[in-house]
Amino acid sequence: MVPKGWKKLIGEEIADKITKGSSPKWQGFDYQDSGCLFVTSENVREGYLDISKPKYLPLEFNEKLKNSQLKQGDILINIVGASIGRSCLIQKDISPANINQAVCLFRVKKNISHEYVSFYLQAPHIVRKLLGSQTESARPNLSLSDLRSFSFDIPPIFEQEKIASILSTWDEAIEKLEKLIETKKKRKKGLMQQLLNPKKKYGKLPDGWKLKKMEECVKYEGGAQPPRDTFIFEERLGYIRLIQIRDYKTDNFKTYIKEELARKKCTKEDVMIGRYGPPIFQVLRGIEGAYNVALMKAIPRDGLDREYMYYFLSQEKIERYLDGFSQRSAGQAGIEMDMLLSYPFPLPTKKDQEKIVVVLTAVDKEISLYHAKLDKLKNQKKGLMQQLLTGKKRVQI
């Protein structure tokens, strides 16, 4: 049921252009340090364009592929791969710029608000609807035909603009909070550097501290890999969760094995390390179960507090150090254990460890509170999108 005064229009009725880009390899071009900005699905985030790590191609690529040249106000939609359906609006001039074949350029007509259409495509209920229309394929795939025939609920232009203005206000609040969280994380990083690696006075560590090697302070215990034919994918009595690296990011791939097959187990409090990457040496915790060979458990030896160990191992410089010595297996980077075990470990007194943990835990709690506020704002925005973009709640003009 279309709200009074609204129209149900398909993509080709509201857009001047619906197209996609091309691979530079197909056109005989290579990346370079400057030139034409090349936008891929990695750059298209949920609601914003991330060009913090830009890729460039020769300007000739832009001139040759005029059909996929980007303009301010264009909407980009990922149409292939794991991020299918993710979209964003180009809010400023980034020309010269082009997209690759995994991204759709959706350029709306002048009598349609591109901000409104962008919010419409980001709404969770619309994304689900869009993905339901995707072309039959072994690989997740949206065709240009899918987008040309996709149905949009379009209110009068003044209502489009009002809805976009309201949702933009929420985006501004979300962005402000995200920047605050980043500031707090940078402060934490600086504190960790200062507290975990104190400047030596006269070439010596603080009183009571001892310079040791990693292997003298931490024991690493590798995981075990049960046969794949023993896996089930739903919780059942007598079974235990088998933890993989990806499980610390998503619950979409929960796997279980029989209790008697669980040779290596961990608790939620245990400090786990991702052995393979990229990135290698991810410091993880928070799941209870059996862990596979891609993980290892970090166990503090006598004199080392587990929480202090967690913060020490979480330092980015350790990851960078190990990445330089990583061994590759089946295309994955892996930890060079000899280099890890010989890594220098300035061990504080037990009392100093406890003090440092108190400071860093307080910072983590503060960051967690801001994350909770951010999640609340995002959920409120989703609810508002559901109301405004379906016409269930009409705006006052």
Report pLDDT digits (tens) over 356-376: 999 999 999 999 999 999 999
- pLDDT confidence of residue 330: 47
Q: Measure Cα distances from 16 to 54, 62, 152, 156, 370 in Å.
A: 27, 20, 15, 18, 41
- pLDDT confidence of residue 1: 80
- pLDDT confidence of residue 374: 96
Positive or negative torsion for Cα 252, 258, 259, 262: negative
Answer whether residue 338 shows pLDDT above 80.
yes
DSSP summary character for residue 255? -
Q: Give mean pLDDT, residues 41-65.
A: 94
- Please write the tens of the pLDDT for every residue from 204-243: 899 999 999 999 999 999 999 999 999 999 999 999 999 9
pLDDT range class, residue 203, cuts 50, 70, 90: confident
State whether residue 141 is helix, strand or coil: strand
Tell me if the bond preceding 96 is cis, omega within 30° of 0.
Answer: yes
Hunting for tokens 């059909």 — which residue is that? 67
The CA distance from 121 to 184, in Å, is 32
- Please write the tens of the pLDDT for every residue from 267-287: 999 999 999 888 889 999 999
pLDDT range class, residue 323, cuts 50, 70, 90: confident
pLDDT range class, residue 329, cuts 50, 70, 90: very low
Q: Give mean pLDDT, residues 231-259.
A: 95
Residue 182: which residues within 8 A CB-CB, separation 6 or more?
none
DSSP sequence for 52-98: SS--EE-HHHHHH-GGGB--TT-EEEE-BSTTTT-EEE--S---SEE
- The encoded tokens of residue 309 equal 């160990």
pTM of the model: 0.80
- Architecture of the 210-347 domain: Alpha-Beta Complex (3.90)
- pLDDT confidence of residue 139: 52
Contact at 8 Å (CB) between 1 and 386? no
- The encoded tokens of residue 205 equal 């560590």
Hunting for tokens 């003009």 — which residue is that? 397
Q: Which CATH class is domain 155-209+348-397?
A: mainly alpha
374 phi and psi angles, rounded to 5 deg: -65, -45
The CA distance from 165 to 119, in Å, is 10
The CA distance from 244 to 294, in Å, is 7
pLDDT range class, residue 133, cuts 50, 70, 90: low
Query: Helix and strand tally (H, E) in the chain?
Result: 12, 22
Answer whether residue 153 shows pLDDT above 70.
yes
Element (H, E) at 274: strand 271-274
Q: Give mean pLDDT, residues 164-189.
A: 96
Q: For the chain, what is the mean pLDDT?
A: 93
- pLDDT confidence of residue 332: 61
> How many Cβ atoms from other residues are within 10 Å of residue 308's Cβ?
23
The CATH H-level superfamily of 7-154 is: DNA methylase specificity domains (3.90.220.20)
Q: Give mean pLDDT, residues 99-105.
A: 96
- Please write the tens of the pLDDT for every residue from 13-40: 999 999 999 998 888 899 999 999 999 9
The CA distance from 226 to 162, in Å, is 56
Q: Give mean pLDDT, residues 87-102.
A: 96
Least confident of 48-57, 164-173, 330-339, 355-364: 330-339
Q: In CATH terms, are 155-209+348-397 and 210-347 the same topology?
A: no
Give the domain ranges of the chain.
7-154, 155-209+348-397, 210-347
